[in-house]
Amino acid sequence: MRRIGSALLIGGLVAIPLYCLTGCFGSPKPLNPSENSKSKSTPIEAGRIQFEGWSLVPPKSWTVIDFRKEDWKRSVENAISAHPKSKNLRRQAEGSKQTGLVKLLAADTRGASDRGFSSMNAIVEQANPDVTLNSFAEASQVGLQSAVQNKQALKGEKLKLPSGPGVRYRWSIAGASFTTYLLLHEGKAFTFTFAAVPGQEKAVFETSRQVMHSVRFDDETRDRS
């Protein structure tokens, strides 16, 4: 469990846009009231990316960095060239790659401004046999609170997603809003973190819901890859 908790800690930090990695940590806001987890959001399907045993559809029009590809750095440089205010993507991508945990990084480089840019990442880690979704969420919550130096207790929201049960955390640091989703499937722990710069909170939260509704595991994606 300690390993999984640290994985979330690293994943949460590298998902934070670089404007917030310079020491602007504050007290996260309490979790907003639960929404209906049986949302009628239509899953987005175009552009599905297949990984080993799972797949998802990243946010439409966002720059996607797939670290399995040898030319992932070229994708970063192309995005920065087209959108200079997203220059911190280079450092964020390199940091994500170095962790060895981040499988996918996506950034709203088109919407980049002096405040930074919204982003998401996905990390996958092998879980111990005795780990349950509840114990994964409890350990991850400790990691989150440690990462953001939060004195307030975070509360997870249980969800029913097309891929199965999950837990969601919503939190904030110095004006930036974050949404973290936790899934557990066949011995693997999945952590998806979405970071929204000020002014994009609602849009990025809706994007996170769409992306999470697109997540499928191997038995559901075998015929789609």
pLDDT tens string 6-52 = 332 233 333 333 222 222 222 233 333 334 434 344 444 569 999 99
Domain layout of the chain by residue ranges: 2-21+63-221
Query: Residue 152 has what pLDDT?
Result: 61
Percent of the chain topping pLDDT 90: 64
Mean pLDDT on 177-199: 95
DSSP letters, the chain, are -HHHHHHHHHHHHHHS-GGGSSS---PPPPPPPPP-SS--PPPP-TT-EE-SSEEE-PPTTSEEEETTSTTHHHHHHHHHHH-GGGTTHHHHHHHHHHHS-EEEEEE-GGG-BTTB--EEEEEEEEPPTT--HHHHHHHHHHHHHHHHT--SPP--EEEEETTEEEEEEEEEETTEEEEEEEEEETTEEEEEEEEE-TT-HHHHHHHHHHHHHH-EEHHHHTTT-
Mean pLDDT of the chain: 80
Half-sphere exposure (Cβ direction) of 189: Cα atoms closer than 13 Å:
30
pLDDT computed for residue 155 by the predictor: 86
Q: Rounded distance, CA 12 to CA 25, Å?
A: 13
pLDDT number for residue 175: 74
Q: What is the pLDDT of residues 143-160, one digit of tens each?
A: 888 766 556 668 899 999
Span 135-148, average pLDDT: 85
HSE-CB of 166 using CA atoms within 13 angstroms: 25
Q: Residue 161: pLDDT band by 50, 70, 90 thresholds?
A: very high
| CATH of segment(s) 2-21+63-221 | 3.40.1000
Residue 189 has pLDDT above 80, yes or no: yes
Contact 160, 211 (CB under 8 A): no
pLDDT above 90 (res 223): no
Q: What percent of the chain has pLDDT over 70?
A: 73
